[in-house]
């Protein structure tokens, strides 16, 4: 399809040269180059699924898996033909999943207002789905459905990751009075029984965890929730408190921030850059070089543009996105305890909030609530005002 478009545009350009003379050749050539090489293009047909694209995953450099509010779409990246769509169990157009689905090479994890689901990627059959609806304690307040930051403003964009395709974590309910304790459920399942073809399914095994607010604080102060997985551990921000939880159920609490600092905002952004794990607390950056065991203050970027960005890893490179009326993307380099920014050309992506950036095959893909866009990797790092 791309070859046919190129030929048509080239013929149009030649006809203009014949009619108007050689003076127009440079303008037409520049327009063709910008359209085919220097601008983000929408993936054809994907909007037919009427689905807000919230997350994505590179499935072997040939298939891009796109998670939406009620379905999963498999996109062949070489041709963009024969898209495959799968409805997420328990969701409908009017009752979608309320956070971005987690996707990896074997599994999908997502939640509705009442239930957590795990299924194979791609779905095999009715046995490749596990569901978990918590049983609540009478008299306690449910915290299962949390206030999660939209994926255009968080990274990773999902708050229900899997560890080793065997473990999931979910908040369940408050415990007692005073906002000092919260129950979380650590869910374990046998991935071989659930995710492999011809498997017969598995039932969830659950370990109840009680998270304690730091006794030097006033307790959990909001219902905002963030969870990411690094180094086979869950990193949780709940009610303004920060925790690390391993798959054995061991919980380490850090209080309102990973390291002592007077500004405490809660986190919606974590990323691993080299051997360092970063936690972005609304512009206050903390760093850990021992897999989240201890943390130090990296820098305070509040009050600057750097403090407003959402930081995302694309392969081994770090990028920052800022979405308001005009989507902006920066490539970010870390030097000492400072950040260096190079703003990239976002032609074709304006007014679209980026929910994920993923390299797959020869392209970089940006998922947005209005569709999926792609760009040749050779031009992804093109600067905002290049010399053409």
pLDDT in tens, 10-56: 333 333 333 334 444 444 444 444 554 779 999 988 876 656 899 99
The contacts of residue 124 (CB under 8 Å, 6+ apart) are: 197, 198, 199
Task: Judge residue 75's burial from the number of C-beta atoms within 10 Å of its C-beta, 0-12 exposed, 13-18 middle, 19 or more buried.
Answer: buried
Which of the 8 DSSP states describes residue 91?
A: -
What are the CA-CA distances from residue 148 to residues 2, 79, 97, 319 (Å)? 39, 35, 12, 22
**Per-residue confidence band for 333, with pLDDT thresholds at 50, 70 and 90:** very high
In the prediction, which pLDDT does 21 show?
40
Per mean pLDDT, which range of 41-50, 79-88, 120-129, 144-153 is the poorest? Answer: 41-50
CA–CA separation, 280 and 301 (whole Å): 10
Residue 2 has pLDDT above 80, yes or no: no
pLDDT confidence of residue 146: 82
CA neighbours closer than 13 Å in the CB half-sphere of residue 48: 11
At 290 the pLDDT is 98
Does the pLDDT at position 325 exceed 90?
Answer: no
Compute the distance between CA of residue 169 and CA of residue 163 in angstroms, rounded to an integer.
9
Residue 66 has pLDDT above 90, yes or no: yes
Nearest of 15, 63, 8 to residue 36 by alpha carbon: 8
Q: Which of 102, 174, 112, 146 is nearest to 236 (CA)?
A: 146
Which of the listed ranges 19-23, 176-180, 291-295, 369-373 does the model predict with the highest average pLDDT?
291-295
**Cα–Cα distance measured from residue 1 to residue 280, given in angstroms and rounded to the nearest whole number:** 42
pLDDT of 380 above 70? yes
In sequence order, which residues have a C-beta less than 8 Å from that of residue 245 and are 6 or more positions away?
169, 184, 186, 209, 233, 234, 235, 236, 251, 252
The pLDDT confidence band at residue 177, using thresholds 50, 70 and 90, is: confident
Residue-averaged pLDDT of the chain: 86
Give the SS3 label for residue 292: coil
Encoded tokens for 341: 């920014």
* Residue scoring higher pLDDT (254 or 93): 254
Bridge partner list, 97:
none
| DSSP β-ladder status, 102-103 and 84-87 | unpaired
């Amino acid at each position: 399809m791309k070859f046919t478009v190129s030929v048509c545009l080239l013929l149009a350009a030649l006809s203009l040269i014949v009619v108007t003379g050689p003076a127009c050749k440079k303008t037409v050539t520049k327009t063709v180059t910008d359209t085919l090489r220097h601008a983000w293009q929408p993936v054809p047909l994907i909007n037919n699924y009427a689905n807000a694209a919230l997350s994505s995953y590179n499935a072997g450099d040939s298939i891009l898996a796109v998670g939406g509010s009620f379905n999963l779409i498999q996109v062949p990246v070489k041709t963009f033909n024969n898209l495959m769509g799968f409805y997420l169990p328990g969701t409908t157009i009017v009752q979608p999943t309320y956070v971005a689905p987690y996707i990896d090479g074997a599994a999908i994890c997502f939640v509705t207002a009442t239930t957590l689901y795990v299924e194979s990627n791609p779905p095999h059959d009715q046995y490749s789905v596990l569901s978990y609806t918590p049983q609540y304690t009478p008299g306690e307040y449910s915290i299962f459905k949390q206030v999660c930051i939209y994926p255009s403003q968080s990274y990773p964009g999902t708050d229900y990751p899997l560890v080793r395709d065997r473990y999931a974590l979910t908040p369940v309910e408050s415990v007692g009075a005073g906002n000092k304790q919260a129950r979380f459920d650590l869910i374990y399942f046998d991935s071989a029984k659930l995710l492999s073809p011809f498997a017969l399914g598995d039932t969830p095994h659950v370990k109840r965890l009680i998270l304690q607010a730091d006794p030097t604080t006033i307790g959990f102060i909001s219902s905002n929730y963030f969870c990411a997985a690094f180094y086979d551990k869950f990193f949780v921000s709940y009610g303004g408190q920060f925790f690390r939880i391993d798959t054995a159920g061991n919980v380490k609490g850090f209080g309102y921030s990973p390291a002592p600092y007077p500004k405490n905002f809660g986190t919606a952004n974590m990323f691993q850059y080299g051997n360092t794990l970063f936690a972005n607390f609304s512009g206050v950056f903390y760093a850990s070089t021992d897999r989240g065991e201890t943390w130090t203050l990296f820098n305070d970027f509040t009050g600057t543009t750097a403090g407003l960005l959402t930081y995302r890893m694309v392969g081994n490179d770090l990028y920052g996105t800022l979405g308001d009326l005009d989507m902006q993307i920066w490539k970010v380099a870390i030097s000492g305890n400072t950040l260096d920014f190079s703003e990239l050309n976002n032609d074709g992506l304006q007014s679209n909030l980026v929910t994920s950036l993923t390299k797959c095959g020869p392209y970089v893909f940006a998922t947005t609530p209005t569709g999926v866009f792609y760009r040749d990797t050779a031009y992804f790092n093109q600067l905002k005002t290049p010399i053409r």
